[in-house]
Amino acid sequence: METGRLDFEGIEQQRLADFTEKAYLDYSMYVILDRALPHVADGLKPVQRRIVYAMSELGLSSGSKPKKSARTVGDVIGKFHPHGDSACYEAMVLMAQDFAYRYPIVDGQGNWGSQDDPKSFAAMRYTEARLTPYAATLLSELGQGTVEWLANFDGTLKEPARLPARLPNILLNGGSGIAVGMSTDIPPHNLREVAAACIRLLEEPKASVGALCEHISGPDFPTGAELISPPEDIAALYESGTGTLRVRAAWEREDGDIVVTELPHQVSGGKVLEQIAAQMRAKKLPMVDDLRDESDHENPTRLVIVPRSNRVDLEALMAHLFATTDLERTVRVNLNVIGLDGRPRVMNLAQLLGEWLAYRTETVRRRLQHRLDRVEARLHILEGLLVAYLNIDEVIRIIREEDEPKPALMSAFELTDRQAEAILELRLRHLARLEEIRIRAEQEELADERDRLAKILKSKARLKRLIRDEISADAELHGDGRRTRIVARAAAQALDETALVSAEPVTVVLSQRGWARSAKGHEIEPEQLSYKSGDGFLAAARGRANQLAVFLDSTGRAYSVPAHTLPSARGQGDPLSGRLNPPDGATFAGVLIGDPDDRCLLATDSGYGFLARLGDLHSRNRAGKAVLRVPSGARVLPPVPAELDDGAVVAAVGSGGQLLCFAAEDLPELARGKGNKIFGVDARKFSAGKDAMAAVTVVPAGGSLLVVSGKRTMTLKSRDLEAYTGARARRGALLPRGWRKVDSIRAA
């Protein structure tokens, strides 16, 4: 006998792959059809439909007294939706939030969240709810034979498969959901616009999407704001059923401040303020002075942005905020719904409204047929009651004397079973009170109604007219004006970093050990600032806060740092080595600041140098860029700004006290390199350390030269410089005795 083998006799065997495939497919279809996607008929998901129906069964109409939400949720999960109470309550809250639903279905009493924090609603034991007047468009025809009824989860009750929606709620309130392999994102729309489109499609069944877009100009969000997508993009979205839209906050000027009054759908005002505050902390938004949230019950959205001064361009500032915060956001649209055939698919606008109109037409037809059947049944009974009235004495006798009065009545007066039943259901005293006039009046009234209903059911034109009139009446009753304005605007662009910085004057100060700082204004005396022990003043440059400061090191590399990012001169600054990566052993030689087209003079004490554009020295690399080639044994001289007007002069002084002046136009303008010879430095003496170019500068036309020797200064006017004028690369002429040991020279 073989052992170790299982006996599966009588047990179904199935491959694991087949089982898992079927299980996953079943789960996927459950999520798609019974949880995540709305139905085109009523625009509701199963949990939402069950909440609305349960509330109607509890008598929570718009005119009734609200009940505790916990009572409603208990009814929903106990009778129709056997799932979590918290998820059910959240679905109920969503239908009550006027900032989430364009036309709320639930009227909530208490704390039901806010636009700033939709999840801040109170627990269900603290809130109360009832249905809104709009909910009547979903429920008013429920008991009129309009829907199919299904057994609930335990088979003890019946629930509607769909609600008989009188309006296309799928478009009015929209919806979103994530299923398995698909999702839906339907934006809300304006009731009056959608109603007009439905009427147009009802009258013109083959109307194109473009024709319907004449009525529906775009989504209409409950929070308002501006829809800035071009009309052609909106039309293309409705044509395909998918796409994206750009929605922008609405703002206005108020006493020089910016006041944001409307936010895009599902955007938190608190998050927007956090985003702006983060830019302010990072010094990326210097034109904003303050932020305030003044939102209250009367003004659900009121965000105040205070500019630093009245010179700030508010339009440019808001364009930057639109590009960098949630004040402008992209809304994804995917018109994916469950159709009348029970299958999910993406529909265009015409298909979606067409399917709903087909459902509505069938609903109205079933409602009319149900009423017609009721009317005919009543007329049939009235015929029997009239016979009873005309033979009242005999009818009373039969009822009193016969053991089986029903068959006796049927045979005596040729009545049907239902007619005889109706007579017997009347008490004798009521039977005696039957009046021919009242019976015949009711017969005439019901006969007229029967004929009218029959005519409508037999005529497609009359049926369409009835549907059109009902849609128009509901649109007039529940409709309102458009909240989201459609304004075609270009996409916002973030401002350049320099454009965000005010152009206030600053002085950038560099110390001998490479510490940098920025002082407001040009009146500061950099030499008088405090420095760390063993450190001192090296160089300073005057410019504006929105310019780049260029630092030149001893290896000839240039580094760029935004001036507004440097620490304040109230302190002793920060080391440049913390934000830059200079070569090992390199020290900083000087600093420049100005516009990219400004010129400067770069040189080494070997006597070589060139003119350069400041823009060619800019680098976003922490390691800088090599601009000045430094010969072996040479030292980089402090870079100097150069005003190259007609008649500008390059002035160079040697270590022996010689001063040479020549026209600045004789010196080339380069982007990088060693440059040309400026001063006649003897190569052998330079190698021995006995000769060098001590300083160099550029003197504008008609300007003066300031010579600094120790603590003494001497000013040479333009006519005095003529004595020192020579050809480039010469040695010039000696300065007067006592002034031949020069520390520095600069234009005065």
Q: From CA 301, how far away is CA 609, in angstroms rounded?
A: 61
Task: Specify whether 30 is catalytic.
Answer: no
Q: Could you tell me if 327 and 319 are in contact, meaning their C-beta atoms sit under 8 angstroms apart?
A: no
Chain CA centroid to CA 239, Å: 23
Q: Which one, of 540, 503, 534, 538, lies nearest residue 519 by Cα?
A: 540
Q: From CA 438, how far away is CA 385, in angstroms rounded?
A: 11
Q: From CA 221, how far away is CA 614, in angstroms rounded?
A: 51
Q: Which residues contact 490 (CB under 8 A, 6 or more apart)?
A: none
Count of other CB atoms within 10 angstroms of residue 381? 17
Q: Which one, of 303, 299, 291, 289, lies nearest residue 252 by Cα?
A: 303
What are the C-alpha distances in Å from 30 to residues 44, 89, 149, 180?
16, 21, 19, 9
Q: From CA 251, how far away is CA 304, in angstroms rounded?
A: 10
What per-residue string of b and e applies to 566-604 under the rule 16 or more CB within 10 Å gives b?
Answer: beebeeebeebeeebebeeebebbbbbbbeeebbbbbbb
Q: Which one, of 707, 713, 724, lies nearest residue 658 by Cα?
A: 724
Partners of residue 409 on adjacent β-strands: none
Tell me the CB-side half-sphere exposure of residue 341, using CA atoms within 13 A.
Answer: 4
Count of other CB atoms within 10 angstroms of residue 110? 16
Q: Could you tell me if 593 and 550 are in contact, meaning their C-beta atoms sit under 8 angstroms apart?
A: yes
Partners of residue 561 on adjacent β-strands: 549
Q: From CA 135, how far away is CA 141, in angstroms rounded?
A: 11
What per-residue string of b and e applies to 202-219 under the rule 16 or more CB within 10 Å gives b?
Answer: beeeebebeebbebbbbb
Q: What is the DSSP letter of 387?
A: H
Partners of residue 158 on adjacent β-strands: 151
Query: Concatenated DSSP letters for 304-321?
Result: EEEESSTTS-HHHHHHHH
Q: From CA 318, how far away is CA 714, in angstroms rounded?
A: 54
Q: Could you tell me if 300 and 276 are in contact, meaning their C-beta atoms sit under 8 angstroms apart?
A: no
Which of 24, 27, 126, 559 does the annotation list as catalytic? 126
Active site residues: 126
